[in-house]
């Protein structure tokens, strides 16, 4: 998997981590739910002091049936080793199935990648970890900032 693919999927991977972390916290509290979730992951040495991914969610609660969780106001930020914010993923609400590695939502998805060079928005998404795929089903809008060379007459 190339770094480009990693960039686009960092959100989904990070989502997994957040949800697992939240799930662990929920188990600790023995309540099956949590609020104001936040998690920070750091780079491996020698950059262990620098934040790699910052995750936050307003609320997580289990849904009836097989392990499903409802996560609200999810925000995931990824930083470069230089501390620069490289990617941000946000969704107001999504449902996550950790055992299947599937996250989905009929709501809005906002992805900003490569320091804002690629910005994607859409309504309704499905991420499948095993297939390494992300589907956005409606009203997709992407802006890619293309670096190019424009000719000018001297």
The stretch near other proteins (CB under 8 A) out of 47-55, 62-70, 96-104, 137-145 is: 137-145
Q: Does 8 bind other proteins (CB under 8 A)?
A: yes
The stretch near other proteins (CB under 8 A) out of 7-15, 44-52, 65-73, 100-108 is: 7-15
Q: Does 2 bind other proteins (CB under 8 A)?
A: yes
Per-residue buried b or exposed e for 86-122, using 16+ beta carbons within 10 Å of the residue's own CB: bbbbbbebbebbbeeebbbbeeebebbbeeeebbbbb
Edge-to-edge strand list for the sheet holding 118-128:
34-42, 51-63, 68-79, 85-97, 102-113, 118-128
Separation of CA 23 from chain center: 16
Among 27, 35, 38, 137, binds other proteins (CB under 8 A): 137
Among 27, 42, 50, 141, binds other proteins (CB under 8 A): 141
The stretch near other proteins (CB under 8 A) out of 55-63, 67-75, 91-99, 112-120 is: 112-120
Q: Does 7 bind other proteins (CB under 8 A)?
A: yes
CA atoms of 145 and 147, how far apart (whole Å): 6
């Amino acid at each position: 998997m190339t770094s480009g693919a990693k960039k686009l999927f960092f959100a989904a991977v990070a989502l997994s981590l957040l949800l697992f972390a939240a799930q662990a916290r929920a188990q600790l509290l023995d309540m099956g739910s949590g609020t104001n979730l936040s998690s920070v992951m750091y780079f491996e040495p020698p950059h262990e002091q620098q934040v790699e991914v910052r995750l936050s969610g307003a609320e997580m609660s289990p849904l009836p049936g097989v392990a499903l969780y409802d996560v609200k106001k999810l925000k995931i930020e990824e930083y470069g080793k230089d501390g620069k914010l490289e990617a941000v993923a946000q969704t107001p609400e999504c449902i996550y199935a950790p055992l299947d590695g599937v996250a989905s939502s009929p709501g809005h998805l906002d992805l900003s990648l490569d320091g804002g060079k690629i910005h994607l928005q859409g309504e309704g998404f499905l991420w499948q970890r095993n297939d390494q795929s992300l589907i956005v089903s409606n009203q997709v809008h992407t802006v890619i900032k293309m670096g190019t060379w424009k000719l000018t007459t001297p």
